[in-house]
């Protein structure tokens, strides 16, 4: 478990290199989520997206990325909202240990 100082004021990890699956569980728990295999699929895709594009995706690119990699049934806003309520791109990026997407408030 990382100390609170490892996170910024919004709960995003300050040092992406400190991310581990246990940190993801810690962040998810703080957000009231229990991670399932479906969550982990999206988290893994987010981390792949970041490695490829050096940025966290906003909602539309995230939906498209999930659709490309998991198929039409999963590449939908409603599916992502069911996993990551509120702002899926922002919340999933936070749990994945990535920076906040640029256009998220």
From first to last of its 105 residues, the chain has per-residue pLDDT tens of 676 678 888 889 999 999 999 999 999 999 999 999 999 999 999 999 999 999 999 999 999 999 999 999 999 999 999 999 999 999 999 999 999 887 755
Closest CA to 99 of 54, 34, 68: 54
Distance in angstroms (rounded) separating the CA atoms of residues 24 and 2? 11
Residue 51's pLDDT is 95
* Burial (CB count within 10 angstroms: exposed 0-12, middle 13-18, buried 19+), residue 62: buried
Residue 6's pLDDT is 85
Residue 4's pLDDT is 67
Q: Give the long-range contacts of residues 14-23, CB within 8 A, separation 24 or more.
A: 16/97, 16/98, 16/99, 18/97, 19/96, 19/97, 23/97
Q: Find out whether 80 and 37 touch, Cβ atoms under 8 Å.
A: no
Q: What is the pTM of this model?
A: 0.92
Residue 105's pLDDT is 52
Residue 23's pLDDT is 94
Distance in angstroms (rounded) separating the CA atoms of residues 15 and 23? 12
Closest CA to 26 of 16, 8, 13: 13
Please identify which of the residues 33, 58, 70, 104 carries the catalytic annotation: 104
- Catalytic annotation on 47? no
Residue 49's pLDDT is 97
């Amino acid at each position: 478990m990382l100390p609170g100082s490892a996170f910024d004021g919004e709960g995003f990890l300050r040092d992406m290199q400190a991310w581990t699956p246990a940190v993801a569980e810690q962040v998810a728990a703080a957000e009231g989520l229990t991670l399932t295999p479906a969550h982990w699929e999206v988290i893994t895709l987010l981390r792949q997206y970041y490695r490829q594009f050096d940025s966290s995706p906003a909602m539309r690119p995230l939906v498209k990325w999930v659709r490309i990699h998991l198929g039409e049934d999963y590449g939908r806003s409603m599916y992502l909202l069911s996993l990551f309520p509120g702002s899926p791109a922002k919340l999933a990026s936070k749990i994945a240990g990535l920076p906040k997407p640029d256009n998220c408030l």
